[in-house]
Structures are given as structure tokens and as C-alpha cells.
Amino acid sequence: MHLIEPYYLWRNLYQSSKDKLSPFYGRQYSELYFSNHVYDHYIHPQWDHFGSETLFMKILFVDYDESFAILEFIGEWNDCLHNDIMILKREIIDLLLAERIRKFILIGENVLNFHTSDESYYEEWLEDTEGGWIALVNFHPHVLAEMKAGRLHFYLSFGTMLDNFIWRQLPPTDFFQSVEKSITSNLIDD
């Protein structure tokens, strides 16, 4: 796991450590010193710790004018034991919502497991977007199955085009527009 870096080819466009509105503004990163870990596996030092014991993230891109953020995750998302959604909502999402971010793309290719609890923070998050949305991109099928079993599909958009999305070849704005189009077409199809 220590070799898995957050996506870095958009760094010329956005860096959360240089964004004064970001929860990670001013953060310093090491390329050599590995301190964060998921259980007994160290992870790359570019991932951001936000308070969870087993889940780490990176804000890859934020567009305040278009009101969207792209977040990438690594680790185990554990609402049952660690209440990761509460920590994520209070420490990161609420700060982005305060800056008028209303559409969230969560990339979960490196989320290994999900353990559900209740859905109240997801419901609150969706309500706080005021007509926006939360999209899950490239989460593993077993993770999505657990989320669906926890009734999170009422608050999070996932499935169909979002499951095998080739996003790394796109600029962030094109990626956002493709996800938004997929969500809109799913709403029309329903």
C-alpha cells in the first residue's frame, strides 16, 4: 500500500495545501517519511489524515465557481467501529459546504472495505448540498453492495457508468461534467 499515491497529474491545476479555503491548507508533505498507516500497512505520505483511524483522503480538485470537489480515498471506510462518515462530514465536508461546494465526486478505487452503521450523516450531507449530489466513482463491487445494504443508495449516486469510469485521462472539469451527465441521465431514466 505504501506505493499507492493519490492521483497527482492535476497538481499543476490545484493543490489543497496551497488553497486557503481547503481544510489542508499549509500542510507539509514528506516523500521519504512514512507515518500514516491502515492497520499494519504504511501508506504513501501524500495521503491526508483527517481524523479517521483507517481511512485517508486527498482533495484532488476544487472548483469554487462551479461548486464541485473531487476527493480520492484509501483504506477501510468503517462507520460501524470508527464512525468515519461523522469525522469526514465534520472535519472536511462541512468546511467545503461552507465554501458553497454542492457537488462531490468521491473516488474509491483504493477503498478496501466498507462497514455500515446508520445513514443519518449521509442524509444530512445530501440535504446540506441543497440540490447538489454525492457521486461514488470506481468503488469495488463488494463495497457498493455493503453501502446498498446500509441504504446509502438513497443519498449517494453510484452504479452504471460510475463503476468503471476512466477518469485519469480527463481534465478535472471534463471529469466533473461526465459524472454530472451520468447522474442526470440516471435521474431521467428513473
Please report which confidence band the pLDDT of residue 190 belongs to, taking 50, 70 and 90 as the band edges: very low
Residue 74 DSSP SS3: strand
pTM of the model: 0.95
- The residues, any chain, with a CB within 8 Å of residue 62's CB and separated by 6 or more, are 14, 16, 19, 21, 22, 68, 69, 70, 96, 99, 101
- What confidence tens digit (pLDDT) does each residue in 125-135 have? 999 999 999 99
Angle at 84 between CA 49 and CA 116, to 5 degrees: 145
Of 2, 94, 11, the closest CA to residue 56 belongs to: 2
**Which set of grid coordinates corresponds to residue 145?**
453492495
- What confidence tens digit (pLDDT) does each residue in 75-120 have? 999 999 999 999 999 999 999 999 999 999 999 999 999 999 999 9
Q: Give the C-alpha distances (Å, rounded to integers) separating 169 from 9, 116, 120.
A: 10, 32, 35
- What confidence tens digit (pLDDT) does each residue in 42-81 have? 888 899 999 999 999 999 999 999 999 999 999 999 999 9
* CATH number assigned to the domain covering 48-189: 3.30.750.24
Residue 121 DSSP SS3: helix
Of 113, 112, 117, the closest CA to residue 89 belongs to: 117
Domain residue limits, the chain: 48-189
**Which set of grid coordinates corresponds to residue 77?**
471506510
